[in-house]
């Protein structure tokens, strides 16, 4: 089916063509007509499915020409990188229109952002924390809003932003089209969805369990003490062009990048505690080849268009099997060959088996030739986690993710672009629109630690409880 079948304006079709999209993806096939018809939507779809265009194209179409008097579209994103990426996508899709797109994000000055919602912008893409600050300061008004997009709601919940999201929904005008996107929709997210949307169309795009055939996966079992030496040995023996090394924690990523640099590699790091400028510089430097290695946490890398890397190395086992698919999907794109190496310690065996069950494939185990698996550890140190070196043993959180049985482990396999419809969508009773809340609880600061940290009493869900923040 071609994009022209949706009845989008020619200015938008030109932009789609300029992006090189030949055919809509499944989430686009289902979402675009629903949004064009003015319906609320609850979609379970992950990054990588084409969901940004799924909501951006019909939204731009519905807006028509630029109009002064306040933003008509607000898109909420959990992280700055995603906000930047989605704002860029909106700008690209609207490049042949006169619509203005603005970005409101933490970690940068307030000046220009204060005026964004007041005048000028038709579409505002914002991170939750900064937007709420500006709303609380009466620096922004939402009266002209017509469409609200809540993107990656599961991440917002995970990062402790969900009450703030509810607060923002409460400040929006009652007559609003709301589009709700989340990779998964467990009970707590369903609750928020019911609070946010009215008479929605439900769209479900199955979890992506498949990894590109062009990716060669390998497992490297190793003791905790020799994990870093093995990483260095692997880098030394591998003919790579660009490598992403995934760690589970920010501290771990910092530790690894420092040690890799000391070993003479050109490397940079991407995680939530880095300032906006640092994160931009890291991404740009990695993309243009200044750095051959990017050390990243999952949350920081989630959703970023970081493709075309020659190697992915999982220094730490990912928190969930979905994260494994997501990490590995960064390589082997567009028929190019890619390698994905996963280092794991004996206590991570269960998590590895979980990944193998999820992708329904056994990943071959390898021993690196010439590496001394019996060598003494480089320093007398306890088992590392994510490269954090400690001098005294400390209680380690379990690596193996604690999954809830209902989190979709048993869904049927679907291809990356295949649609999986829920058999019978439970009817959602019409909800009264929430009233504005007079008082806010203290909110997470996006700026204080340069990232997107949750507040002290953050809510995490499911298997991440008690784990380290990424």
By the criterion CB under 6 A, which residues form the site for ligand AMP?
Answer: 21, 23-25, 28, 47-53, 303, 305
Question: 24 or 401, CB closer to ligand AMP?
Answer: 24
Q: Are 433 and 166 in contact (CB under 8 A)?
A: no
Q: Rounded to whole angstroms, how far apart are CA atoms 444 and 454? A: 5
Which among 194, 198, 176, 174 is positioned nearest to 185, based on CA atoms? Answer: 194
Which among 30, 90, 21 is positioned nearest to 57, based on CA atoms? Answer: 90
Closest approach, Cβ 2 to ligand AMP, in A, equals 11
Closest approach, Cβ 54 to ligand AMP, in A, equals 7
Closest approach, Cβ 24 to ligand AMP, in A, equals 5
Q: Rounded to whole angstroms, how far apart are CA atoms 461 and 445? A: 20
- Kindly state the helix (H) or strand (E) to which residue 293 belongs, with its residue range: strand 293-297
Which among 25, 59, 60, 19 is positioned nearest to 45, based on CA atoms? Answer: 25
Q: Rounded to whole angstroms, how far apart are CA atoms 159 and 151? A: 13
Question: 47 or 297, CB closer to ligand AMP?
Answer: 47
Question: 208 or 243, CB closer to ligand AMP?
Answer: 208
Question: 48 or 272, CB closer to ligand AMP?
Answer: 48
**The token pair that represents 46 in the structure block:** 């992950």
Closest approach, Cβ 307 to ligand AMP, in A, equals 7
Which among 189, 164, 167, 250 is positioned nearest to 444, based on CA atoms? Answer: 164
Calculate the CA dihedral of residues 239, 243, 245, 246 and round it to 10 degrees: -130
Question: 7 or 346, CB closer to ligand AMP?
Answer: 7
Which residues are within 8 A (CB) of 212 and not within 5 positions of it... i.e. 6 or more apart?
Answer: 328, 329, 331, 332, 333, 338
Q: Rounded to whole angstroms, how far apart are CA atoms 37 and 15? A: 21
Question: 48 or 107, CB closer to ligand AMP?
Answer: 48
Question: 78 or 303, CB closer to ligand AMP?
Answer: 303
Q: Rounded to whole angstroms, how far apart are CA atoms 242 and 138? A: 45
Q: Rounded to whole angstroms, how far apart are CA atoms 262 and 470? A: 24
Closest approach, Cβ 304 to ligand AMP, in A, equals 9
Question: 117 or 156, CB closer to ligand AMP?
Answer: 156
Closest approach, Cβ 342 to ligand AMP, in A, equals 24
Closest approach, Cβ 61 to ligand AMP, in A, equals 16
Closest approach, Cβ 79 to ligand AMP, in A, equals 13
Question: 24 or 321, CB closer to ligand AMP?
Answer: 24
Alpha helices for 64-183 (secondary structure H): 80-93, 111-116, 128-136, 153-158, 162-171
Closest approach, Cβ 283 to ligand AMP, in A, equals 14
């Amino acid at each position: 089916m071609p994009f022209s079948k949706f009845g989008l304006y020619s200015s938008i079709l030109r932009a789609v063509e300029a992006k090189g999209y030949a055919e809509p993806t499944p989430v686009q096939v289902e979402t675009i007509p629903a949004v064009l018809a003015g319906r609320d939507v609850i979609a379970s779809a992950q990054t990588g499915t084409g969901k940004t265009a799924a909501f951006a194209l019909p939204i731009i179409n519905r807006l028509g020409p630029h109009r002064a008097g306040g933003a008509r579209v607000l898109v909420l994103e959990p992280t700055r990188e995603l906000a930047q990426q989605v704002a860029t996508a909106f700008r690209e899709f609207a490049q042949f229109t006169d619509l203005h797109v603005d970005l409101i994000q933490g970690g940068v000055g307030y000046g220009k952002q204060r005026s964004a919602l007041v005048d000028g912008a038709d579409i505002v893409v914002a991170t939750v924390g900064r937007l709420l600050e500006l709303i609380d300061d009466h620096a922004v008004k939402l009266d002209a809003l017509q469409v609200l997009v809540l993107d990656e709601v599961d991440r917002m919940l995970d990062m402790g932003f969900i009450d703030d999201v509810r607060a923002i929904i409460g400040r929006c005008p009652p007559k609003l089209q709301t589009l709700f996107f989340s990779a998964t929709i467990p009970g707590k997210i369903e609750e928020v969805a019911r609070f946010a949307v009215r008479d929605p169309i439900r769209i479900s795009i199955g979890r992506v369990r498949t990894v590109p055939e062009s990716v060669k996966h390998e497992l490297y079992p190793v003791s905790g003490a020799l994990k870093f030496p093995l990483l260095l040995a692997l880098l030394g023996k591998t003919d790579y062009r660009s490598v992403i090394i995934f760690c589970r924690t920010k501290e771990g990523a910092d530790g690894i990048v420092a040690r890799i640099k000391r070993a003479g590699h050109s490397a940079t790091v991407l995680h939530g505690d880095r300032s906006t400028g640092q994160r931009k510089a890291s991404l740009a430097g990695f993309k243009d080849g200044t750095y051959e290695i990017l050390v990243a946490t999952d949350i920081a890398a989630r959703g970023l268009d970081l493709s075309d890397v020659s190697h992915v190395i999982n220094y730490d086992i990912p928190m969930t099997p979905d994260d494994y698919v997501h990490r590995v999907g960064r390589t082997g794109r567009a028929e190019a060959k890619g390698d994905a190496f996963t280092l794991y310690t004996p206590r991570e065996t269960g998590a590895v088996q979980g990944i193998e069950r999820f992708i329904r494939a056994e990943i071959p185990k390898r021993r690196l030739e010439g590496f001394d698996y019996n060598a003494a550890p480089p320093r007398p140190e306890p088992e590392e986690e994510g490269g954090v070196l400690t001098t005294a043993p400390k209680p380690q959180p379990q690596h193996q993710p604690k999954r809830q049985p209902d989190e979709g482990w048993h869904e049927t396999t679907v291809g990356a672009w295949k649609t999986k419809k829920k058999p019978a969508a439970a009817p959602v009773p019409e909800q009264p629109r929430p009233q504005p809340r007079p008082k806010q609880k203290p909110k997470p600061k996006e700026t204080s630690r340069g990232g997107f940290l949750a507040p002290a009493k953050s809510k995490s869900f499911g298997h991440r409880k008690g784990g380290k923040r990424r």
